[in-house]
Amino acid sequence: MSSTVALSPVTTGTTTAPTAPQAARKRPYLHQVDLVRTTTFALVIFMHVLTSTTAEYSSMGTNSTSLLLHATRNIFFALTGFVLMYQYLDRPDFSTTSFWRRRMKLVIVPYLVWSVLYWVITGMWLNGRFGDIPTSLGELGKNLLWGTSAYHLYFLLVMLQAYLLFPLLRKLIIRTRGHHGVVLAVSAALQVTVLCLISYWHPPAGLATELWNHLYATFIPYQLLIVIGAIAAAHRERVSELLRGRGALVACAFLGSAAFAIGAYVHRVLVGGAPVWSANSAFELTLLPFLVAAVIAVYALGLHWATYRRQHQPVFSKFVSYASNRSFPVFLVHVMVLTFLLRPQTDAGEKWFVAALPQPFATITVYLLTLAISLMVVEVLRRLPGALYLTGRPRLPLRPTI
């Protein structure tokens, strides 16, 4: 396994042995990152399956669950800030152009490829519009602009923005050493302001409205989590000391903030008359404490596991490493797999799996099938020429290894 911290999307894999000067610059591998990444992506896929196999627009149970699962995107953006800052903060040879050239191409090319694939297959072909493709390229252009060829691709746009802005964030963290509490406070105040505006302000018609309606595809609603991750990396040892031995406190904060977020949601619906489903549910101000608590809890769990993984969980450790290495391409593929799994319908127009199996077995079955088939597809894609740009990961040898 590589000795560098796993960054997204290109992390561990088959690499050549580093030279002595390169090895001297590398930092210890943080195994907790693998568990955090695996857990996060597994929950992202579960949320997509859950909302696709249940009454998303009318079920308070589904929306209460998905409300909490919105934390997954925020956990990953915090993780992105953390691992980037951990690897690059104190590197004297850091170069902005080199960083962009190395990192951004491995997100932007998969983004373009999969945006076109989703648009052609799920947007045009499955909707009987395949013949309209030559005259609908403007639609594709808009999808590329906002990450809307599939409902999960906006995530890659935000990643690109995080990579684009990282050199500025790194410079900020370096120049404000000794004052990171102030940076965090300013970021938190900005976050609260943005969330309030999303919930209560409507911009005038025009370009501002379109941008505002696609704010979820920008870094702005997630900047606090990226900053939290970056500052945590700058104080990694101190953060580890604060978390160790405080599992009960972290669990109480996690459960308490979850109960508060769900209680506020139920109150909005039952007392305030709000709709059961809302497009802006991920940006409710009352969810923010849980988002922060979830980031802390998942990292604390990963930290605890990393301490004992070799002594007690060697098999699980190999599985986590395997899953983490494939999490990004599985994320790219899984919506396509889920779409085809749920395409068979009954004569009444219901999704076959949902009609044939009682809940929760329908959701569980579709979830397991989505994961299994996505992994099989990824194993094939990782071995094709150009796999690096198709999956954001280095090409693997033809013989599969775990």
**pLDDT at 190 exceeding the cut of 80:** yes
Q: In the structure, what pLDDT confidence band is assigned to residue 10 with cuts at 50, 70 and 90?
A: very low
Nearest 5°: the CA angle 13, 26, 325 is: 20
In a domain, 92, yes or no: yes
Contact 342, 366 (CB under 8 A): yes
**pLDDT at 24 exceeding the cut of 80:** no
Residues in the chain: 402
Instruction: Enumerate long-range contacts of 175-178, CB under 8 Å, 24 or more apart.
Output: 177/234
pLDDT in tens, 311-352: 667 888 889 999 999 999 999 999 999 999 999 999 888 999
Residue 228 is predicted with a pLDDT of: 98
- Between the alpha carbon of residue 118 and those of residues 36, 148, 267, the distances in Å are 28, 9, 38
pLDDT in tens, 119-130: 999 999 999 999
In a domain, 210, yes or no: yes
Residue 6 is predicted with a pLDDT of: 37
Q: In the structure, what pLDDT confidence band is assigned to residue 400 with cuts at 50, 70 and 90?
A: low
Q: Which parts of 254-363 are beta strand (E)?
A: none
In a domain, 3, yes or no: no
Query: 360 preceded by cis ω (within 30°)?
Result: yes
Residue 297 is predicted with a pLDDT of: 97
In a domain, 400, yes or no: no
**Section 65-69 average pLDDT:** 96
Reference 199, options 282, 290, 294, 293; nearest CA is 282
Tokens, residue 299: 């990292």
Residue 148 is predicted with a pLDDT of: 94
- Sign of the C-alpha dihedral computed for residues 83, 85, 88 and 90 taken in this order: negative
pLDDT in tens, 95-119: 999 999 998 888 999 999 999 999 9
- Sign of the C-alpha dihedral computed for residues 5, 10, 16 and 18 taken in this order: negative
Q: What DSSP string describes 194-259? A: HHHHHHH--PPSSHHHHHHHTGGGSSGGGHHHHHHHHHHHHTHHHHHHHHTT-HHHHHHHHHHHHH
Q: What percent of the chain has pLDDT over 90?
A: 78
**Section 43-58 average pLDDT:** 95
Contact 126, 22 (CB under 8 A): no
Domain ranges, residue 241 = 26-391
pLDDT in tens, 239-255: 999 999 999 999 999 99
**pTM over 0.85, yes/no:** yes
Residue 312 is predicted with a pLDDT of: 64
Segment among 70-74, 221-225, 264-268, 275-279 with least mean pLDDT: 275-279
In a domain, 362, yes or no: yes
Residue 25 is predicted with a pLDDT of: 57
Residue 401 is predicted with a pLDDT of: 54
Residue 327 is predicted with a pLDDT of: 94
Q: Which residue matches tokens 């956990």?
A: 75
Residue 100 is predicted with a pLDDT of: 94
Average pLDDT value for the chain:
90
Distance in angstroms (rounded) separating the CA atoms of residues 217 and 145: 9
pLDDT in tens, 142-189: 999 999 999 999 999 999 999 999 999 999 999 999 999 999 999 999
Domain count, the chain: 1
**Section 376-392 average pLDDT:** 92
In a domain, 113, yes or no: yes
Q: In the structure, what pLDDT confidence band is assigned to residue 12 with cuts at 50, 70 and 90?
A: very low
**Section 39-51 average pLDDT:** 96
State the greatest distance between any 2 C-alpha atoms of the chain, in Å, as a whole number. Answer: 66
**pLDDT at 7 exceeding the cut of 60:** no
pLDDT in tens, 255-296: 999 999 999 999 999 999 999 999 889 999 999 999 999 999
Query: Phi/psi zone of residue 147: left (φ > 0), alpha (ψ -120 to 50 degrees), beta?
Result: left
List CB contacts of 125: < 8 A, sequence separation 6 or more.
Answer: none
Residue 303, SS3? helix
In a domain, 337, yes or no: yes
- Between the alpha carbon of residue 230 and those of residues 64, 236, 296, the distances in Å are 30, 10, 13
In a domain, 19, yes or no: no
Residue 370, SS3? helix
Q: In the structure, what pLDDT confidence band is assigned to residue 22 with cuts at 50, 70 and 90?
A: very low
**Section 192-199 average pLDDT:** 93
**pLDDT at 15 exceeding the cut of 90:** no
What is the rounded radius of gyration, in angstroms, for the C-alpha atoms of the chain? 21
DSSP 121: I
